[in-house]
Amino acid sequence: MKMSRILALAALLAAGCANVAPYQRGYLARESMALDPNPGMAKALEKTYSAKEAASGGASVGGGGCGCN
């Protein structure tokens, strides 16, 4: 009983997945599929933000504060 419930749940979860066949990966290569569609602009914005807010490293880089990086 418990096993069939797990299976039913697995079936439900699997239904939410879309298989992308190897030959369909052109969809994933689209610009709009990128995590960050405009990495150059994002980098510039982040630099401005960290300069204005004195928050160097606040976004993702480790360190900051000691002036050593």
Partner 1 sequence: MRRLAAALALTLSQSVLAVEAGGPVPDVSGPRIDAPSQSLALSSLRGQVVYVDFWASWCAPCRVSFPLLDALYRENGSRGFVVVGVNKDMSLEDAQKFLKKVPVTFPLVGDAKDAAAKAFDVKTMPSGYLVDRKGVVRKVHRGFTAETGAAIREEVDALLKEPS
Residue 66 binds to partner 1 (criterion: CB under 8 A): no
Greatest alpha-carbon pair distance for the chain in Å reads: 61
CA–CA gap between residue 46 and residue 64 (Å, rounded): 14
Would you say 19 or 60 has its CB closer to partner 1?
19
- Contact stretch for partner 1 (CB under 8 A) within 11-19, 32-40, 44-52, 59-67: 11-19
Determine contact, residues 28/20, Cβ cutoff 8 Å. yes
Site for partner 1, rule CB under 8 A: 3-4, 7-8, 10-11, 14-15, 19, 21-27, 29-30
